[in-house]
Amino acid sequence: MKISMRAVSIIIVVFSILISLSFGAVIINPDKDKLLIEVIAYVMQRGHFNPKKIDDSFSENVFRNYINDIDGQHRFFLQSDINNFKRYQKEIDDQIKSSEISFFNLTFNRLMSRIDQVKEFYEEILTTPYDFNTKDSISLNFKSLPYAKTLNGLKAIWRKRFKLSTLEHYSSLKEQQTYNLAQDSTYQFKSDLALEEEARAMTKKNIKNYFDIISDIERKDWFSIYVNTITMEFDPHSNYFAPEDKEKFDQNISGKFEGIGARLQKKNQEVEITEIIVGGPVWKAKALEVGDVILKVAQEKEAPVEIGSMRLGDAVKLIKGPKGTEVYLTIKRVSGLIEDIVITRDIVELEESYAKASIILKNNKQYGFIQLPKFYIDFKDQNSRNAASDIKKEIELLKKRDVKGIILDLRNNGGGSLKTVVDITGYFIDNGPIVQVKSTGGRKDILYDEDPSVVWSGSLVVMVNEFSASASEILAAALQDYKRAVILGSKQTFGKGTVQNIIDLNKIISGGTHGDLGAVKITTDKFYRINGGSTQLEGVRSDVIMKNQYSYIDMGEKDQENPLVWDSIQPAKYSKWYNQSNYEFALKQSSVRLENNTNLSLIEEQALQIQQQQDDYVYTLNYDDYILEQGKNKKIAEKFEGLKDYKSNLSFEWIPDPRTPINDMIKEKKSRWIESLQKDLYIEEAINILEDLNMNLNIQPLAQIKK
């Protein structure tokens, strides 16, 4: 199967146009931030699918969103600060056009000053005990809360928030004491004063960790937030990537990186190992354990560097590196032993990012289940594993087991590579259009499956939810339009019907004295179904709707800032799948089952309860009232406990991937995965649908021609 070369060309057309445009002679500008603003404005206005006019309205929106991004919880700024900032409310557009950054400089300097002030007084606040007997409450509805007028007012805000945190700790400590007494009748209760002091110490420790994280954020990081506020005014998916963020994006979409194969966190000025990635260099060499602390890092023939005082991101840069190179680490073991080790870096694959399959057994018949977390691909290495090749291998493995149907799970799959989704869709149809694309400038094209072979011709169910987006929606929409599969899931998918391309900003200008400017992910195209409708905002509406706990929470594309509008174009020419004789029957049967499903009724009730809790911003600061509220919440939670106990009668068998090394950790992960599948009532209904799609197929011959 292949995509037409003409279709592929649209994916890079805007990138090519931008690269070919001259940005003039070498721009000599010692201020990198100003240069970045200039280049960003240039790229966004010339390359975006639907460029916006940078005017006063644009300026007001950037102002509001930027202030919310840096201090949306009113932790630092005073109202006088906001009033001072407002003189720029309608001038940001002019600053963008003239590459000025005085608004950013003002807000950044004031923010740093306010952060320092809070760091100076928060310990003082936490020296005074809290009285949990007084009637008091706090609202966390930040959108409606005013900023503090004075520094004392800001202290009062922090004091209340500390009190809420301390009350939560205090309540947990009281509950723990009751549990301890039940376990040991000789246990001695601590006084309430002692518990309050202990709870306050826990709050102090947490806030210290918070400020440790804040102190790691450099000026360039805050400036990235400002730049992103500008790009996201065009649409929610146009983002600026600082140089290190671009690397993270590449890693995310490929599902792999070059390094030692360990996840790290910074805590109390120490870089600690939190996870060993199976199959990575550390795992193979058995060189590190969870809990070990990395004290120093050295490259070959270089002096070691202490990393405790570094930002975590900078420490990670030193540790990661090209495949085949060595890194020298000074380690403090959990036992306290300090030693030096050498690790040879290699490619580390994030196994949890990849497709995996299971056999489902029901009524002595086997069905296939494939879970695809994302549409991954490594653009730098086209021969490496990708979502399409992996899905094909999983299908072939399932066919060898003579499965009677396949479930493709795209729940929580936020998208990825366009090429892989076209390939995967083609595995289920003989040939034809998959998706239509309209590019910057109005050019339209269609991406086709041109391979007449079909990898899987049997019954098919595709599972989606509110978090299935972009490439997931292309696949689901195409299979739905062909009537090739039954789409099962939430009322609609996320609704992201746009395509983004990565533009290297360093290639937009000539000269190299400016340093690395990073990249911008810019919306350049829009998806359309083969029936002509866009997936933008509307997403894909499921054939079989099964509500979940998020059904009443606003979380789709339509709920984002500045989404592009829905529209439609001319439908493509296609013929519906000819083997789906039981399609309508399966939908009707499912409707009857779901109407009488008590678990789904309970899930809907739970979803309404979650919606109600989302809208409640007021929290009590009185212990007795807090315990009363906790008791009410506990009773509500108990009502839904039965959902946790649900377990289907289906049997599951994990199909190992021969490329993934097997050890106890992998077995434990897969065991937990299988356990989660057994408790998934949505899978049970998907199997029921497959049975209905197959009903009478051995008796009634299939039509061998297209309708």
Convert the pLDDT of each residue in 11-24 to its tens digit.
233 333 232 333 33
pLDDT on residue 408: 98
pLDDT on residue 514: 67
pLDDT on residue 251: 67
pLDDT on residue 510: 66
Q: Which residue has the higher pLDDT, 243 or 526?
A: 526
Q: Which CATH number belongs to the domain containing residue 314 in this structure?
A: 2.30.42.10
Whether residues 344 and 361 share a domain: the answer is no
pLDDT on residue 639: 84
> Which residue's structure tokens are 């509008």?
565
- Whether 160 is in a domain gets the answer yes
Report d(CA 325, CA 281) in Å as an integer. Answer: 11
Report d(CA 471, CA 435) in Å as an integer. Answer: 10
- Whether 70 is in a domain gets the answer yes
Amino acid 307 reads I
Report d(CA 309, CA 295) in Å as an integer. Answer: 10
Q: How confident is the model at residue 661 (pLDDT cuts 50, 70, 90)?
A: low
Amino acid 392 reads K
Mean pLDDT of the chain: 87
Whether residues 687 and 615 share a domain: the answer is yes
- pLDDT of residue 482 exceeding 50: yes
Whether residues 341 and 413 share a domain: the answer is no
- pLDDT of residue 27 exceeding 50: no
Whether residues 672 and 551 share a domain: the answer is yes
Residue 618: which of 140, 134, 133 has the closest Cα?
Answer: 140
Q: Which residue has the higher pLDDT, 654 or 462?
A: 462
- pLDDT of residue 459 exceeding 70: yes
Q: How confident is the model at residue 304 (pLDDT cuts 50, 70, 90)?
A: confident
Residues with Cβ < 8 Å from 259, sequence gap 6 or more?
Answer: 280, 281, 319, 320, 321, 345, 348
Q: How confident is the model at residue 511 (pLDDT cuts 50, 70, 90)?
A: low
pLDDT on residue 252: 67
Whether residues 319 and 336 share a domain: the answer is yes
539-575 confidence digits (pLDDT tens) = 999 999 998 888 888 888 999 999 999 999 999 999 9
Whether residues 574 and 651 share a domain: the answer is yes
Range 309-334 average pLDDT: 86
- Whether 690 is in a domain gets the answer yes
**Which of 322, 349, 376 is the C-terminal boundary of a domain?**
349
- pLDDT of residue 627 exceeding 60: yes
Report d(CA 572, CA 528) in Å as an integer. Answer: 10
Do 551 and 609 touch, CB atoms closer than 8 A? no
Q: Which residue has the higher pLDDT, 703 or 210?
A: 210
**Which of 288, 317, 349 is the C-terminal boundary of a domain?**
349
Whether residues 260 and 205 share a domain: the answer is no
Overall number of domains in the chain: 3
Q: Which CATH number belongs to the domain containing residue 627 in this structure?
A: 3.90.226.10
- Whether 704 is in a domain gets the answer no
Whether residues 389 and 345 share a domain: the answer is no
- Whether 299 is in a domain gets the answer yes
Residues with Cβ < 8 Å from 656, sequence gap 6 or more?
Answer: 662, 670
Whether residues 266 and 378 share a domain: the answer is no
Give the residue numbers spanning the domain of 335.
256-349
Residue 584: which of 695, 474, 683 has the closest Cα?
Answer: 695
pLDDT over 70, % of the chain: 91
Whether residues 637 and 656 share a domain: the answer is yes
- Which region among 141-155, 256-270, 410-424, 568-582 has the lowest average model confidence (pLDDT)? 256-270
Most confident listed range (285-299, 469-483, 493-507): 469-483
- pLDDT of residue 465 exceeding 70: yes
- pLDDT of residue 268 exceeding 80: no
- Which region among 143-147, 282-286, 405-409, 558-562 has the lowest average model confidence (pLDDT)? 282-286
- Whether 5 is in a domain gets the answer no
> Which residue's structure tokens are 């073991």?
333
Q: What are phi and psi of 648, to 5 degrees?
A: -75, 170
Report d(CA 315, CA 271) in Å as an integer. Answer: 8
Do 646 and 599 touch, CB atoms closer than 8 A? yes
- pLDDT of residue 683 exceeding 80: yes
Whether residues 344 and 369 share a domain: the answer is no
Whether residues 341 and 385 share a domain: the answer is no
| CA dihedral for 594, 595, 598, 603, sign (positive or negative) | positive
211-257 confidence digits (pLDDT tens) = 988 888 889 999 999 999 999 999 999 999 988 777 777 766 667 78
343-387 confidence digits (pLDDT tens) = 999 888 777 788 999 999 999 999 999 999 999 988 777 778 899
- Whether 30 is in a domain gets the answer no
- Whether 29 is in a domain gets the answer no
Q: Which residue has the higher pLDDT, 484 or 248?
A: 484
